[in-house]
Structure 1
Amino acid sequence: MGLFWMKVGEGMKIDYDVLTGAKSGWKDGLQFTRELEKWSDEYEERNMVPAESNKETADHTTALLLYAVPDAFKDAGRKVVSALMDSRLRKAMLYPDPPAMLQWLVDTGLATRKLVLRHLTLPRPFAWRKRIVADDVNAHGRIFKLIWDTEPWYVEPTFANRWCLQSWVDWMAGRPIPGDEGEKYFPRGFKSSHMGPAFLVGKGLAQAEKDEDQIREIMRCDATVST
Structure 2
Amino acid sequence: MYQRGMGLYLAHCPYHIEYPIEITRRPWPWLRVRKRDYNSTKNESSFDAAAQQPRSSEMTSLVFYGNLTALAYLVIVHILRYRRIRSIVAKYPPLQGTDGKSTSDYCMTPAEAQKIIWTSSLYDHPMLVEKALEFALFKTYGIRTRLQTAILIQTWVHVPITGPGSGVEELPKGADPRGAIALANDDYLYTLSLFIMEPAKWIEKYEWRGLTLLERQAYFVFWSEIGRRMGINNIPGTLEALVEWCEEYEQTNMVPSQTSKTVAELTTALLLYHVPPFARGFGKQAVAALCPERLNRAIMYAGDSTEDYASIADLVYYYRVPEPPVWVIKSVDAVLNLRKLFIRHLCLPRSSPQCYVPFDTTGLGAPGVCPAGVSVCPVSGKQSPNGGPVYRLHPFYANNDPWYIGSPSALGQILANILTVLGIRNPRATPGPQFKPEGYRTEELGPSSFEKSKNS
Partner of 1:100 in structure 2?
326
Percent identity of the aligned residues?
Answer: 32
TM-score by length of 2: 0.37
Partner of 1:52 in structure 2?
258
Write the letter of the residue equivalent to 2:224. M
Partner of 1:33 in structure 2?
239
Partner of 2:437 in structure 1?
187
Aligned counterpart in structure 2 of residue 122 of structure 1, from 325, 345, 348: 348
Change (3 A) 1:167 1:132: farther
Aligned counterpart in structure 2 of residue 43 of structure 1, from 249, 268, 273: 249
Matched, 1:158 2:412: no
Aligned counterpart in structure 2 of residue 110 of structure 1, from 336, 348, 351: 336
Structure 1, unpaired ranges of 5+: 22-31, 203-227
Report if the CA contact (8 A) 1:82-1:98 is conserved: yes
Write the letter of the residue equivalent to 1:186. K
Aligned counterpart in structure 2 of residue 132 of structure 1, from 334, 353, 356: 356
Deviations 1:59-108 (A, max 9, x none): 01001111222222221111111011011111111143111111122123
Name the SS of the counterpart of 1:163 in structure 2.
helix
CA distance in 2, matches of 1:111, 1:195: 37
Matched, 1:144 2:366: no
CA distance in 2, matches of 1:163, 1:176: 13
Partner of 2:427 in structure 1?
175
CA distance in 2, matches of 1:10, 1:96: 40
Shift of 1:164: 6.7
Report if the CA contact (8 A) 1:143-1:191 is conserved: yes
Over alpha carbons, which structure has the higher Rg? 2
Partner of 2:171 in structure 1?
none
Partner of 1:224 in structure 2?
none
Deviations 1:168-198 (A, max 9, x none): 4246546135443xx3100111111112232
Write the letter of the residue equivalent to 1:49. V
Aligned counterpart in structure 1 of residue 293 of structure 2, from 79, 82, 87: 87
- Which moved further from structure 2: 85-94 or 166-175? 166-175
Aligned counterpart in structure 2 of residue 70 of structure 1, from 276, 286, 309: 276
CA distance in 2, matches of 1:110, 1:98: 17
Report if the CA contact (8 A) 1:171-1:177 is conserved: no
Aligned counterpart in structure 2 of residue 10 of structure 1, from 224, 228, 244: 228
Change (3 A) 1:154 1:170: farther
CA distance in 2, matches of 1:98, 1:42: 27
Report if the CA contact (8 A) 2:400-2:429 is conserved: no
Shift of 1:12: 2.0
Name the SS of the counterpart of 2:289 in structure 1.
helix
CA distance in 2, matches of 1:185, 1:63: 19
Report if the CA contact (8 A) 2:392-2:441 is conserved: yes
Partner of 1:217 in structure 2?
none
Write the letter of the residue equivalent to 1:65. L
Partner of 1:28 in structure 2?
none
Shift of 1:54: 0.8
Name the SS of the counterpart of 2:245 in structure 1.
helix
Partner of 2:19 in structure 1?
none
Write the letter of the residue equivalent to 1:5. W
- Which moved further from structure 2: 78-87 or 66-75? 66-75
CA distance in 1, matches of 2:421, 2:396: 18
CA distance in 2, matches of 1:186, 1:171: 24
Structure 2, unpaired ranges of 5+: 1-217, 301-320, 360-366, 369-383
TM-score by length of 1: 0.70
Report if the CA contact (8 A) 2:392-2:438 is conserved: yes
Change (3 A) 1:35 1:114: farther
CA distance in 2, matches of 1:161, 1:10: 47
Report if the CA contact (8 A) 1:155-1:189 is conserved: yes
Name the SS of the counterpart of 1:184 in structure 2.
helix
CA distance in 2, matches of 1:16, 1:160: 54
Change (3 A) 1:120 1:46: farther
